[in-house]
Copies of this chain bind each other. A is one copy, B any other.
């Protein structure tokens, strides 16, 4: 499937409402459960997505669009959310994520990006040369990957409860080694 700006923005628009439908008001054990030490809970994922809005995707898009001789991205801290959200509740994080995403989408729409803009270059600190198009596609995939992670991490909380059905639940066995 080729990149399409309009449908990419459509997917990005959906993530806050999808996560709210899945998580808002759920009891704590579902929201705070992880896959083991140093892995993300659903709560952590929402915090990580907020970090993405504030420090990753749009700041990097702005660096690309500003052009200049060295459109190099800042390093991204995947664990910023742990300190930032230590005293927060999930409901307020979901609302904050929805607001930040809506603001970022509005700014992105205001750029009225052309096909030529999408090929503008940036320099990722570890991945090297990338384009704005690749950054926007990665933003979409990053959302979907973390949505899959939330569902998988929730599923794992009931691993001990399904008896022999574990054999029919590839959501557990596909990803034996957890990640943050």
Contacts and interface: CB of A to CB of B under 8 A. Distances in A.
B22 A161 contact: no
A22 B18 contact: yes
Interface in A155-180: 155, 157-158, 160-165, 167-172, 174-175, 179
A174 B151 CA distance: 15
A92 to B, nearest CB: 19
Contacts of A134: 161-165
Q: How many copies does the complex hold?
A: 2
Looking at chain A's contact residues, is the secondary structure mostly helix, strand, loop, or mixed?
helix
**Interface extent on A, as a size class?**
35 or more
A137 B162 contact: yes
Nearest to A179: B170
11 contacts: A17-B21, A124-B165, A127-B168, A128-B164, A130-B164, A134-B164, A137-B161, A140-B158, A141-B169, A145-B171, A148-B155
Which 4 pairs show the lowest CB-CB distances between chains A and B? A145-B171, A134-B163, A148-B151, A138-B165
